[in-house]
Amino acid sequence: MENSIVEEAWQALEKAIIYYYDRPIGTLAARDPNLEALNYDQCFIRDFVSSALVFLIKGQPEIVRNFLIETLRMQIKERQLDFLEPGRGLMPASFKVIVENDYQYLQPDFGDRAIGRVTPVDSCLWWIMILRAYVKATGDIELAHQDEFQRGIRLILELCLVARFDIYPTLLVPDGASMIDRRMGTNGHPLEIQSLFYAALRAANELLLDNKVNQFIIQGVKNRLGPLTEHIRKHYWLDMERLNDIYHYKGEEYGEHALNQFNIYSDSIPYAWLTEWLPERGGYLAGNLGPSQLDCRFFTVGNLMAIISSLASPRQSQAIMELIEQRFDDLIGYMPMKICFPALEDRDWKLVTGCDPKNRPWSYHNGGNWPVLIWMLAAASLKTGRIELISHAIEIAKRRLSADRWAEYYDGKNGRLVGKEARKYQTWTIAGFLLAQELLANPEHLKLISFEPDEITNRA
């Protein structure tokens, strides 16, 4: 039984491979025979992460190498004089192989075709992480050291580190700039982007050659890591102690010594829910922070990637895992695991999502359960020594994934319903499951995606 599910997943993953002139270069988002493809017949950079890691672990690095080379060619390289092109350094959200007779070409989507015209901020960050994983798995550092790759990394960093209107060390982004690629109130400084940003900075620091052209940008990376870490650990953190502090905050404080730096009004914090939901020893990083805004929703990618990348301190990482364990039914339920918790309901749903029917409460991005997240749960569990938690979660996933034909997401408070508009044979569901299994079987592979605490994070 067990082997047959794994075997089935492998076969499904192989069927999802995209070829460009006979070379494998990526995987389709989904292969659902019964639904209109829309853009699910494309290779998304974020979706390819789990596939890439699985291929690397299985000793098939060629597809990852081809992916890296081709996507790098698609990156925006020049500043356009009409100032209407996307920013230099941007990577596409997805791409497609177009076949015309004997001729083939790749068509990228930078958000210019995507539903809602959303900007894929996360693509360039994931791209650097895939490159690092490839180098770690194969030892082929020469690829990353090639001029075009060094330039590609530099352009991404320049795009992220350039001085803008903002004084925070975090990245300011529009709504829907990452896995949640629809309006969900994740504009501003959402945690997910900050965790990926931190990981990308760490990866770039390892990959950039210490030479004259890179000097300036390497300094930029080093200068940003410390303040970013401190900002997230201090201001995004939520546990009972912090909640007590915030409860007693005073508003309208001016100057450097203000305690309530972001002018958070106590009334905006859902204390009734949080005082019951937060376990004594657990905690998590809040979803977003801005002027008079502390989004107290729990976002899974941001929290798990903060653990995996060591953006969260070791103590915070343990507390986040403690929370997941204690709130297993809410966050994992019948399918690991929820994308965020709790869902936006009623008027909040109307105002924040723009009445998006796909994002109704406890569906899709608004509190749905996404099986792909199981690999991040596996990585974070292994990093914090919670083997039982991940073994249990994998058992739960196994019961349904194959029977539900590798659904994209699940609906309902406890994730019991196959998502209303969920695709079947969703590739990252398949690859995420395989990756979780591989990580559990050999935790050595964790190093492909995780980072040890660095000197700065050790001090905090």
**Burial class, 427, CB count within 10 angstroms (exposed 0-12 / middle 13-18 / buried 19+):** buried
φ/ψ of 410, rounded to 5, equals: -125, 155
Smallest separation (angstroms) from ligand GLC to the CB of 114: 8
Smallest separation (angstroms) from ligand GLC to the CB of 433: 15
CA pair distance 95, 28, nearest whole angstrom = 10
Choices 44-52, 134-142, 150-158, 250-258 (CB under 6 A): range interacting with ligand GLC: 44-52
Choices 43-51, 217-225, 348-356, 414-422 (CB under 6 A): range interacting with ligand GLC: 43-51
Structure tokens of 208?
């950039």
CA pair distance 300, 284, nearest whole angstrom = 10
By C-beta, is 144 or 179 nearer to ligand GLC? 179
Residue with the closest Cβ to ligand GLC?
Answer: 29
Site string for ligand GLC, 46-85 (x = CB under 6 A): xx--------------------------------------
Q: Binding residues for ligand GLC, how many (CB under 6 A)?
A: 6
Classify residue 20 by its DSSP letter: E
Site string for ligand GLC, 162-181 (x = CB under 6 A): -----------------x-x
Smallest separation (angstroms) from ligand GLC to the CB of 301: 10
CA pair distance 371, 421, nearest whole angstrom = 15
CA pair distance 232, 345, nearest whole angstrom = 27
Q: Which of residues 181-200 bind ligand GLC (CB under 6 A)?
A: 181
CA pair distance 289, 190, nearest whole angstrom = 7
CA pair distance 71, 194, nearest whole angstrom = 23
By C-beta, is 47 or 438 nearer to ligand GLC? 47
Smallest separation (angstroms) from ligand GLC to the CB of 136: 24
Q: Is 407 in the site for ligand GLC (CB under 6 A)?
A: no
Measured between alpha carbons, how far is residue 43 from residues 29, 46, 106, 123, 169 in Å?
6, 9, 11, 12, 31
By C-beta, is 113 or 151 nearer to ligand GLC? 113
Q: Which is it for the CA torsion 434, 439, 445, 447, positive or negative?
A: positive
Smallest separation (angstroms) from ligand GLC to the CB of 411: 14
By C-beta, is 173 or 208 nearer to ligand GLC? 173
CA pair distance 268, 284, nearest whole angstrom = 18
| Ramachandran category for residue 409: left, alpha or beta (phi over 0 → left; psi -120 to 50 → alpha) | beta
Choices 41-49, 132-140, 227-235, 379-387 (CB under 6 A): range interacting with ligand GLC: 41-49
By C-beta, is 149 or 197 nearer to ligand GLC? 197
φ/ψ of 43, rounded to 5, equals: -100, 115
Q: Considering only residues 29, 196, 343, 439, which one is a binding residue for ligand GLC as defined by CB under 6 A?
A: 29
Q: Is 322 in the site for ligand GLC (CB under 6 A)?
A: no
Q: Is 356 in the site for ligand GLC (CB under 6 A)?
A: no
Residues 6+ apart with CB under 8 A from 223: none
Smallest separation (angstroms) from ligand GLC to the CB of 225: 27
By C-beta, is 44 or 197 nearer to ligand GLC? 44
Closest CA to 294 of 354, 251, 357: 251
Q: Considering only residues 9, 31, 44, 235, which one is a binding residue for ligand GLC as defined by CB under 6 A?
A: 44
Smallest separation (angstroms) from ligand GLC to the CB of 179: 4
Residue with tokens 């994070």: 457
Measured between alpha carbons, how far is residue 348 from residues 36, 63, 116, 298 in Å?
30, 43, 20, 16
Please give the residue ranges that form the binding site for ligand GLC (CB under 6 A): 29, 44, 46-47, 179, 181
